Chain A
Amino acid sequence: MNLASLAPLAVVLPILGAALTFVLIRHSRAQRAVSIALLSLTLLLECLLLASVWNGGTAAVNIGGWVPPWGIVLVVDQFSSLMLVVSSAVSLAVLVYATGQGMADGDQDAPVSIFHPTYLILVAGVSNAFLSGDLFNLYVGFEILLTASYVLMTLGGTGPRIRAGVTYVVVSVVSSVLFLIAIAMVYGATGTINMADLAIKLSELDEGTKTLLHVMLLVAFGIKAAVFPLSFWLPDSYPTAPAPVTAVFAGLLTKVGVYAMVRTETLLFPGDSLNTPLMVVALLTMIVGILGALAQSDIKRLLSFTLVSHIGYMVFGLAMSSVAGLAAAVFYVAHHITIQTSLFLVTGLIERRGGSSSVDRLAGLAKLSPLLALLFFVPAMNLAGIPPFSGFLGKLGLMQAGIGLGTPLAYALVIGGVLTSLLTLLAVARVWNRAFWRKAEDAEHPDPVLLAVPATETAPEGGATAVRLLPRTMVGSTLGLVVLGVALTVFAGPLFRVADQSAAAMLDRSAYIQAVLGDAALVPAAALGGGGK
């Protein structure tokens, strides 16, 4: 028995946790302990999985003993286990943050007790989607995480959340229906939905059918990944949710879409048939997204637009279908999950400390809370891609790959990428200048909290019941994520090596197919037109 056969536990443990926290719904302290313990256990397990494939290799687990291509398989390779570890680390930090927030608010109401089971189901769905080696199981993983996200999005059922929730639910359901139609057509064309089996059988189809299936899958995943012009729903729906929920959505949900796009492009439809449209879409996503961010005055909305914009970088790396480009995209996904989540968590802290998330009402936070300023500054510079942070390294990898490709469109994307990076810097610098750097009196509508400095500073001593503005658990978990973001910079060397290997393995495909279908499986020659090393 090898380590990889523990892979199903990455899905089972969070679901078990969800069941337990449902039972313990009246005991919030026990509920917190159970969910944090089980998520830590899941993270530990996923670290073991990553360690087992760290030097390459792919392992498949047949669920229930059904042999593929008939049964469901879970596949552990470098990319999927790396995604699992990063996503679980981020979810754990957000969970600690959310429990800290619940305790600080003294909130014993139902929404918080429903939070834990729903959150764990979301994590299970994300793990299932990352591990799945079967197209329909991928759909089920998506549905698990989406259904949990519907509940989290409308937590508390206030007016704005319901309004945002409606858009989100309808768009997600439509994209799921598109995905399901694509699965039906794939099954009709090939008679299988096992992804390794599909990799062989799809290549035997004629060009027209193949393009139709390819486009349908990409559109379905593109809505989930928020790729322009399918990204309209994201800035509308994310900002109204509670801060920890927005943070985990921003970090994970769109990246699951990107993950599915990567698998579609590399495993199911290798080659460069749709690379040109993907590159154009990537360029538009970057530019349109960041221009939207510049118009916003609410930090959460601004970050939602930068989220859309930076999805463009990942699509760019994917569209090059070269080892260098794909490796940079893999690294960028890991970097972006961490950074985007920590920025949203910091925004939650800003909202607590400054009373608002609108830059018109915020000012002077750097003086009020230097730690908060540091917590914002580091990931913000990281997002904008200032050296030596991981954002810079990821973008540098993409630029090098783009210049290596050498086509005019690739050069246009490189220029667009640099421009987007600079505009991101402008967007976060404006937040910095207004919310942190200027004097509190200079704000257009300073929040009373900001002006009454001495009163709030002495409030916690006044009585034990006073609500702490910045609880230690919330600051601690945010700090943990920021440190993780910096660690991605420090350990970028080994991480890029793993990203390189996983990109090479994904483009080669033989390891994946043989791990699932056995060594005897015939791997079709990779139809790599351009870019293959």
Chain B
Amino acid sequence: MTVNLTLLTVMGALYACGIYLILERSLTRVLLGLMLLANATNLLILATGGYAGLAPFFSKDTDPGSYNDPLPQALILTSIVISFAVTAFMLGIIYRTWLLARQDDIQDDIEDRRVAETPSFDAEDDAVIPVETSEFPLPMLGSDGSAAAESTATVEAGGRTLLAEHAALEEKPGSANFTTDTDTDTDTEGGAK
């Protein structure tokens, strides 16, 4: 099989630019990158058809060996139509993003960020039991060894040490986000249940 070197060089350049562009954060550039990738792939399919030849089935006298392979061209036609539809849809999405947020960037998932920042301490599952339920009272101990009843039990959460009650409050989104300066705050009576 002979190959067309110009075609292959162009294809390589298109792939390189396309991959560079889809790694950008700007949506318009991502779209351009996707278009380049799709067209590079079309060239690749064309290249698999072999050398350029005569139009197939045009005349009965043509030697089958001098035909161009028609199948890759049919495949390219389909893939052009598909990438056309996807490009139109992407343009619609980009316009909508611009209308909604006045920016052309890919945005972060808020819930992802929230889950990432949630301390591993879970109030429901991990909190020390605040009320002594045993008939034979024993001091309940926090992870640092101090008794829970004295409200000084601490937990490790997100790389810092919190009072257990503060950590329990921090579970609640948006309600009581203790900043680091309150971590050392020993005035826990206000936050007690």
Contacts from A to B (Cβ < 8 Å)? 136, 140, 143, 147, 150-151, 154, 157-159, 162-167, 169-170, 173-174, 176-177, 180-181, 183-185, 187-188, 193, 236, 239, 295-298, 301, 360, 430, 433-434, 444-445
Check B86 against A169 for contact (C-beta < 8 Å).
yes
Interface residues of B in 149-193 (CB under 8 A from A): 171-173, 175
Asked whether A143 and B82 contact (CB < 8 A) given A177-B37, A177-B38, A236-B109, the answer is: yes
Q: Which of B72, B78, B96, B109 is close to A187, meaning CB atoms less than 8 Å apart?
A: B72
* A-contact 0/1 string along B79-94, CB 8 Å cutoff: 1001001100110010
Q: Can you name the residue of chain A whose Cβ is closest to the Cβ of B109?
A: A236
A6 to B97, CA, bound (A): 44
B45 within 8 A of A: yes
B71 within 8 A of A: yes
Asked whether A445 and B41 contact (CB < 8 A) given A169-B89, A170-B34, A295-B118, the answer is: no
Chain A interface helix/strand/loop/mixed = helix
A462 to B41, CA, bound (A): 62
Nearest-Cβ distance from residue B27 to partner chain A, whole angstroms: 6
Check A187 against B118 for contact (C-beta < 8 Å).
no
Taking A147-B85, A151-B89, A174-B37 as given, write out 8 further A-B residue pairs in contact, using a Cβ cutoff of 8 Å, ordered by the A residue number: A163-B97, A166-B97, A170-B34, A177-B38, A180-B45, A185-B48, A295-B118, A444-B171
B147 within 8 A of A: no
Of the candidate stretches B53-61, B99-107, B129-137, B138-146, the one touching chain A is: B99-107
Check B75 against A173 for contact (C-beta < 8 Å).
no
Check B124 against A434 for contact (C-beta < 8 Å).
yes
Asked whether A162 and B71 contact (CB < 8 A) given A188-B48, A236-B112, A360-B173, the answer is: no
Asked whether A180 and B79 contact (CB < 8 A) given A150-B89, A163-B109, A445-B172, the answer is: yes
Q: Which of under 10, 10 to 19, 20 to 34, or 35 or more describes the interface residues of B?
A: 35 or more
A430 to B125, CA, bound (A): 9
Chain B interface helix/strand/loop/mixed = helix
B128 within 8 A of A: no
Q: Can you name the residue of chain A whose Cβ is closest to the Cβ of B174?
A: A445
Contacts of B89 in A (CB 8 A): 147, 150-151, 169
* A-contact 0/1 string along B39-74, CB 8 Å cutoff: 001001101100000000000000000000001100
Contacts of B148 in A (CB 8 A): none
Q: Can you name the residue of chain A whose Cβ is closest to the Cβ of B169?
A: A444
A28 to B96, CA, bound (A): 26
A192 to B96, CA, bound (A): 42
A174 to B15, CA, bound (A): 12
Contacts of B173 in A (CB 8 A): 360, 445
Asked whether A183 and B75 contact (CB < 8 A) given A150-B89, A295-B115, the answer is: yes
A284 to B100, CA, bound (A): 38
The 3 closest A-B pairs by CB, nearest first: A188-B48, A184-B45, A444-B172
Q: List 5 A-B contacts (CB under 8 A).
A: A150-B86, A162-B97, A166-B27, A180-B79, A193-B75
Q: Which of A140, A170, A185 is close to B78, meaning CB atoms less than 8 Å apart?
A: A140
| B41, B78, B93: residue with the most chain A Cβ atoms closer than 10 Å | B93
A301 to B175, CA, bound (A): 22
| A151, A167, A174: residue with the most chain B Cβ atoms closer than 10 Å | A174
Contacts from B to A (Cβ < 8 Å)? 1, 22, 27, 30, 34, 37-38, 41, 44-45, 47-48, 71-72, 75, 78-79, 82, 85-86, 89-90, 93, 96-97, 100-101, 106-107, 109, 111-112, 115, 118, 123-125, 171-173, 175
Nearest-Cβ distance from residue B181 to partner chain A, whole angstroms: 24
Q: Can you name the residue of chain B whose Cβ is closest to the Cβ of A142?
A: B82
A236 to B108, CA, bound (A): 10
Nearest-Cβ distance from residue B29 to partner chain A, whole angstroms: 11
A444 to B82, CA, bound (A): 48
Q: Can you name the residue of chain A whose Cβ is closest to the Cβ of B81?
A: A143
Contacts of A188 in B (CB 8 A): 1, 47-48
A147 to B71, CA, bound (A): 24
A445 to B171, CA, bound (A): 11
Check B37 against A187 for contact (C-beta < 8 Å).
no
A297 to B96, CA, bound (A): 29
A183 to B82, CA, bound (A): 15
Q: Can you name the residue of chain B whose Cβ is closest to the Cβ of A181?
A: B41
Check A169 against B93 for contact (C-beta < 8 Å).
yes
Q: Which of B78, B112, B123, B125 is close to A136, meaning CB atoms less than 8 Å apart?
A: B78
A184 to B172, CA, bound (A): 53
Contacts of A166 in B (CB 8 A): 27, 93, 97, 106
Check A173 against B115 for contact (C-beta < 8 Å).
no
A74 to B90, CA, bound (A): 31
A430 to B109, CA, bound (A): 24
Contacts of B82 in A (CB 8 A): 140, 143, 147, 176
Q: Which of A136, A157, A162, A170 is close to B22, meaning CB atoms less than 8 Å apart?
A: A170
| A164, A170, A185, A430: residue with the most chain B Cβ atoms closer than 10 Å | A170
Q: Which of B30, B34, B101, B175 is close to A159, meaning CB atoms less than 8 Å apart?
A: B101
Q: Can you name the residue of chain B whose Cβ is closest to the Cβ of A158?
A: B100
Nearest-Cβ distance from residue B114 to partner chain A, whole angstroms: 9
Check A173 against B96 for contact (C-beta < 8 Å).
no
Asked whether A187 and B71 contact (CB < 8 A) given A154-B93, A169-B90, the answer is: yes
Contacts of A236 in B (CB 8 A): 109, 112
Asked whether A298 and B111 contact (CB < 8 A) given A136-B75, A177-B38, the answer is: yes
Q: Which of A165, A170, A181 is close to B44, meaning CB atoms less than 8 Å apart?
A: A181
Contacts of A143 in B (CB 8 A): 82
Nearest-Cβ distance from residue B140 to partner chain A, whole angstroms: 20
